[in-house]
Amino acid sequence: MVICVEEYRMPLIGDKFPQMEVKTTRGLIKLPDSYNGRWFVLFSHPADFTPVCTTEFVAFQKRYDEFQKLQCDLIGLSIDQVYSHLKWEEWIKEKIGVEIKFPIIADNAGEISGRLGMRHKQAGGTQTVRAVFIVDPKGVIRAILYYPMELGRNMDEIVRMVKALQIADKGYAIPANWPKNEIIEDHVIVPPANTVEMIGKRKEQEKTGEIKCLDWWLCYKKIEYF
């Protein structure tokens, strides 16, 4: 069976998440409006009752409470009917002992995944790649991740990204491998000086211990956030 759907431009980081009403295992949901004021992670998987996808759903659920503490909801999606999703949820609970608490979108017509650029060409468009959209409380797409079908995602990285993006909203930049950066450990980066006056301010802040600097353009500090 070939699924033919209208082609859309794939959303980019900084775009508003496309308006759509979706059918899920928890009823109809309007995206992004139903999550106004909260972060959400929308992730797609190739198909229900597949090995890698099963491990991913269990891994996401194991971190469900951690996402909730970040005011962040989870939403799954695949080109399957809602009945398949519901039966798969039952199987996971029965066989693995994990209850899936987040909704799963039924995109059996392929329209939603088509709008988001999630369909896998090598699978003839009948399956979705492992895509991740991180969306902020204003409905703006803040990060996009894509994984091939054979590679399961690192859920701890997705948690880290949500935390880091929330910190970035406070005016900081996040170093590589944060919170275990090889240079500044769990500190965050203060915006670099871009005027002579700001260079002087950075030096004064360093003297008072408010920040630490390797140079005026690379200053950092420790913040209490979580």
User: What residue has token string 């002992």?
Assistant: 97
Phi, psi of 224, rounded to the nearest 5 degrees: -100, 115
Is 53 a catalytic site residue? yes
Which residue in 4, 53, 213, 219 is the catalytic one? 53
Q: CA 159, CA 154: separation in Å to the nearest integer? A: 9
Cβ neighbours for 39, distance < 8 A, ≥ 6 positions apart: 70, 71, 72, 73, 134, 135, 136, 137, 162, 166
On the CB side of 187, how many CA atoms lie within 13 Å of its CA?
17
Q: In Å, how far are 8, 49, 56, 147, 153 from 45, measured between CA atoms? A: 20, 11, 9, 10, 10
Which of 104, 131, 100, 122 lies closest to 17, judged by CA?
131
Largest CA distance in the chain: 68
Active-site residue list: 53
